[in-house]
A and B are shown apart, each in its own frame.
Chain A
Amino acid sequence: MTGFFAFCLFLSGIAGGVIGGMGLGGGTLLIPLLTIALSVPQKTAAWLNLLCFIPMSVFALAVHSKNKLVSFKDALLFIPFSLCGAFLASRLTEKIGGDVMRVSFGYFLIFLGSLSLVFFLIDRITRNREKK
């Protein structure tokens, strides 16, 4: 690995970290940066993203739970079912290749981006109405 490549990896991390730190979803930025710009294999990019955000999540969670913002009742409803999903995903990733994953992640991003955009606009409109 060249020093320049390592520096680019570092910059991608910063970009993903800044967006993640703002609570906008850093992973959805870090993975495309790593795969599109730096040609990191999809599964390696996925692994990097998951691993790198664990320390930040632990820290953020500690702060939020101290501020009593975490609804543990709702978290306990979500956690077991999301883990079932993650388990199924681990079975599936064994069978499908990195290219299929990359393309489906592309569709997933378009879906998420459009969905978030719609929620964002609805939120803006309803807030403006409340003000009136």
Chain B
Amino acid sequence: MNKLLRFGKIAKGGMAIAAAFISGLANGLFGGGAGTLVVPSLKIFRGLDQKEAHATAISVVLPLSVFSTVYYTLSGNASWSYFLPVGSGVVIGGALGALLLAKVPKKVLTLVFYLVMIYAGVRMIAL
């Protein structure tokens, strides 16, 4: 039984490592989406609760995003004129989202967001 437990622990560690690698790969290839992979991985393979997983995921995604941003900038994909409007929108929206979080029905919103994600995926393939 002890052996089985130990095997389970190692297997979970291995899956966590694989999930980390895939998250980095996806984030670099697509320019985002790592958080959506890292949060459930931390919950399932490391046993963190939702809040811890979310907070820890940011500390994982931040270095990733810095690395990939530097790479995309150096490889000539930067359009600085787009940065100001989008960046200021994200900062204002981010603050708004954090404030709204306590006030909106999160279950409904989450469900709608996942459906929008699938729809956006279909549109991106068909574009």
In the complex, A54 has a CB within 8 A of chain B: yes
Q: Among B42, B65, B127, which residue has its beta carbon within 8 angstroms of that of A57? A: B65
In the complex, A6 has a CB within 8 A of chain B: yes
Q: Among B34, B59, B69, which residue has its beta carbon within 8 angstroms of that of A54? A: B69
User: What does DSSP make chain A's interface, helix, strand, loop or mixed?
Assistant: helix
Q: How large is the interface on A (under 10, 10 to 19, 20 to 34, 35 or more residues)?
A: 35 or more
A24 proximity list for chain B (CB < 8 A): 109-110, 113
Complex: A104 Cα to B121 Cα, angstroms: 9
B69 proximity list for chain A (CB < 8 A): 47, 50-51, 54
Decide yes or no: A77 and B20 within 8 Å by CB, A19-B97, A109-B124 being known contacts. yes
Interface contact A50-B72, CB-CB below 8 Å: yes
Complex: A90 Cα to B73 Cα, angstroms: 11
Number of interface residues of B (CB under 8 A): 92
Complex: A101 Cα to B30 Cα, angstroms: 7
Provide a sorted-by-A list of 23 A–B residue pairs whose CB atoms are within 8 angstroms: A21-B94, A26-B97, A28-B32, A29-B117, A30-B86, A36-B120, A48-B31, A48-B83, A50-B69, A51-B65, A58-B62, A71-B55, A78-B20, A78-B23, A79-B63, A81-B20, A82-B20, A83-B64, A86-B27, A89-B24, A107-B125, A110-B121, A112-B121
Within the complex, what minimum Cβ distance (angstroms) separates B88 from chain A? Answer: 6
Interface contact A71-B92, CB-CB below 8 Å: no
User: What does DSSP make chain B's interface, helix, strand, loop or mixed?
Assistant: helix
Decide yes or no: A90 and B36 within 8 Å by CB, A61-B55, A77-B16 being known contacts. no
In the complex, B91 has a CB within 8 A of chain A: yes
Interface contact B26-A108, CB-CB below 8 Å: yes
Complex: A30 Cα to B35 Cα, angstroms: 14
Q: Which of A34-77 contact B (CB under 8 A)?
A: 34-36, 40-58, 60-61, 64-65, 67, 69-72, 74-75, 77
Complex: A70 Cα to B114 Cα, angstroms: 25
Interface contact A21-B98, CB-CB below 8 Å: yes
